[in-house]
A and B are shown apart, each in its own frame.
Chain A
Amino acid sequence: MQRRLRHTALIILLLAPGSVSAVLAGGSFDDDDHGDQLSYFGFVRDARGIGVGDAKVTGEVKDGASVVTRTDVLGVYRLPGFSKDTDPTKVTISCAKDGYRQTGILQRTTPGPDVKAFEVECRMQRM
């Protein structure tokens, strides 16, 4: 449990919005200020609670684009870049890996007006 908390604290730190940078000259972008966006993060774990590395994690916005990433060796993922106006209940998180099947989704963060990062755990089981 302590290990899990430590990992969670670590990934929250990694996901904390950086300070923003200004648009200056004629570069082909307007800003890289991502402070207002929502993100999802968490673990993909097996039935024993061990992180599953290299699992595919998909965040799908209803009627919108899918966001796809893979877990690191600890089973951690991050899905950044959702609009602050996104209804968190309209985003479906799923996970997949050869030899596994998804068994459950655990919402670890309660949505609220000031919440920008949602921890969602995906559970898998070896087939």
Chain B
Amino acid sequence: MRAAVSALLLCLLGLSADRLPARAEARASALSGRISSVEEGPMEGVLVSARREGSPITVTVVTDADGRYRFPAGRLSAGRYTLGVRAVGYELAAPRTAEVAAATTVVSDLRLRRVSDLAAQLTSTEWLMSMPGTAEQKRPLIECMSCHTLERALRSHYDADTMFRALQRMPQYANNTTVQRVQKRIADRHVNEEQLRRTAEYLASVNLGHGAWPFELKTLPRPKGRATRVIITEYDLPRATIAPHDVRTDAQGFVWYSSFVENFLGRLDPRTGAHVEFAYPRVKPGSPTGSLALELDEDGNFWLATMFQSGLMRFDTKTLTFRHFPVPAALDSDAMQQSLVMPGRAHVDGKVWTNDVNRGAILRLDVASGNYELFDPFVGRKGTQHSPYGLAADAQNNLYFMDFAGESIGRVDAKTGRSVIYPTPTPRSRPRRTMMDAQGRVWFAEFAANKVAMFDPAREAFREWEVPTPHTYPYDVFLDRYGELWSGSMSSDRVLRFDPQSGAAIEYLLPRQTNIRRIFVDDATRPPAIWIGSNHGASIIRLEPAD
């Protein structure tokens, strides 16, 4: 199969991005200064970003309690940088640049002024906090964020009828749609029009249809304390249409990602900025393109769940070639969708797990023969809403799956095929992505419950923890080897760091609007480095806490 279609060297810029942990770096600064405003004086928790002219790499630090920021020496090479800030309610009083010179600390104090259009800075979380209405009225809106922020709906002037017609279109778009790359489904989806009408009436009551928002805009507080001690590096990808979904690093230091709307596997070298796209063919012409889950097998090969393109792709990291495992015609349809894949324990029995969102079922691939088996883990529960989603496998390759349309997780026995369903303590929780730790415990995000959770198979028991910010809707979790849990979401532009033992939580704000899906922790260093994709922003982000 053809590989390596394009290679784009993004620029070296002298940024040696493969770094020691932030705390280990010398105190010398390349660029520093103080941020203040008339309203607040020195300002804590302001994100300051520096981007060298012509570079696709942006480095961001955060001001401390005295309003001071500093870019450590070595993080910025010599050159002319454009500076930017993120502080909700504020903007730079004037555009600013800084000339960074080798072995010299450049000082640049920045003044902020009140922003005239606060709404343009709101996250979807802040819109949901601001809007009047019940939890049940707001609940359907969490689906909007798959493709765009809530600002789009709230800035509309539609009355209820026009909004209803707009909402009728939405389910006919593929899951792997972004504003930059709209994809339609081939198979129509059934819509409950009564529910849609209620949502349209609600949205038309809170949008600009009456000339102004009938509510006050509320904002989240800026970062404080430990949440300010972080360095964030953002690598822009070469096209705005690229929608990185799952991101992970390998032992060689490369960053790999699945592309949600295009048929390729991406690889970024953060040391050099080199970006490569390994393309695979469009095996179902006319169907939406792109893949969702990216997982590693025990041989170091990557597996992609190819969504509407039928089945799974395995990428051999030695030969840099793909092998496609199509779902047989008898099981295939225009609506079929493989969003997740779990090859992590394929050595046990030669089997790789995946799902079919359309059937609400599990599929298992026999790698040697290419055959798929179909499992309905909800036998006796037909007619209810289920959708196996996040997947994890234990040491015997038994499957644990998240019922994303429901309120359970489940287990499929690898030998007998029998399933056990475990309802989460919180109803209507919609468990989403998951990971299994070294002790065999299943950690997962309860998307609709605003919680993160752990299931202990040994005890068949759950623990749940509410995330600190309402309307976060966590997408995924990752437990690092030091016992801290990391999570991100599509709505709050924040990365959560959570200690399940103490309950302590830190939320790191990101420099730009960031629709986060899979979260990956490279915990070879302590503190670890967190890697995410900006699904709507065409960038890869590394977050390095300083402690």
Contacts and interface: CB of A to CB of B under 8 A. Distances in A.
Nearest to B490: A27
A90 B380 CA distance: 10
A68 B421 contact: yes
Contact of A22 (B148, B196, B410, B420): B196
B460 A81 contact: no
Given A28-B404, A79-B423, A34 B384 contact: yes
B174 interface: yes
B423 A24 contact: no
Q: Majority SS of interface residues in chain B? A: loop
Nearest to A90: B380
Interface string A100-112: 0000000000000
Given A21-B139, A63-B379, A70-B460, A81 B421 contact: yes
B198 interface: yes
A125 to B, nearest CB: 22
Given A32-B448, A56-B460, A85-B382, A23 B171 contact: yes
A61 interface: yes
Interface residues of A, number: 44
Contact of B143 (A27, A34, A37, A86): A27
Given A21-B136, A65-B419, A36 B192 contact: no
B382 A83 contact: yes
B245 to A, nearest CB: 12
Contacts of B176: 26
Given A32-B448, A68-B422, A70-B461, A83 B384 contact: yes
Nearest to B175: A26
Interface in A10-50: 14-15, 18-34, 36-37
B385 A61 contact: no
Contacts of A29: 357, 385, 387, 389, 404-405, 430
Contacts of A22: 140, 167, 191-192, 195-196, 198-199
Interface string B409-426: 010000000111111000
A53 B179 CA distance: 50
Contact of B147 (A26, A30, A34, A37): A26
A84 B383 CA distance: 7
B344 interface: no
Nearest to B192: A22
B146 interface: yes
Contacts of B191: 22-23
A91 B421 CA distance: 14
B136 A61 contact: no
A33 B427 contact: no
A65 B192 CA distance: 28
Interface string B134-169: 001001111110111000000000000000000100
Nearest to A56: B460
A60 B384 CA distance: 16
A59 to B, nearest CB: 9
Contacts of B199: 21-22, 24
B140 A30 contact: no
B138 to A, nearest CB: 9
Nearest to B199: A22
A23 B379 contact: no
A123 interface: no
B244 interface: no
B432 to A, nearest CB: 9
B179 to A, nearest CB: 11
A21 B191 CA distance: 11
B384 A36 contact: yes
Interface in A71-95: 78-86, 90-91
Contacts of B422: 67-69
B400 to A, nearest CB: 13
A64 interface: yes
A106 B211 CA distance: 60
A21 B381 contact: no
Interface in B98-152: 136, 139-144, 146-148
B428 interface: yes
B339 interface: yes
Nearest to B171: A23
A33 to B, nearest CB: 6
12 contacts: A21-B199, A22-B199, A23-B189, A23-B191, A24-B196, A27-B142, A28-B146, A28-B339, A29-B389, A67-B423, A68-B421, A70-B460
Interface of A: 14-15, 18-34, 36-37, 54, 56, 61-70, 78-86, 90-91
What 7 A-B pairs come out closest when comparing CB atoms?
Answer: A64-B380, A61-B380, A22-B195, A64-B379, A26-B175, A27-B143, A29-B405
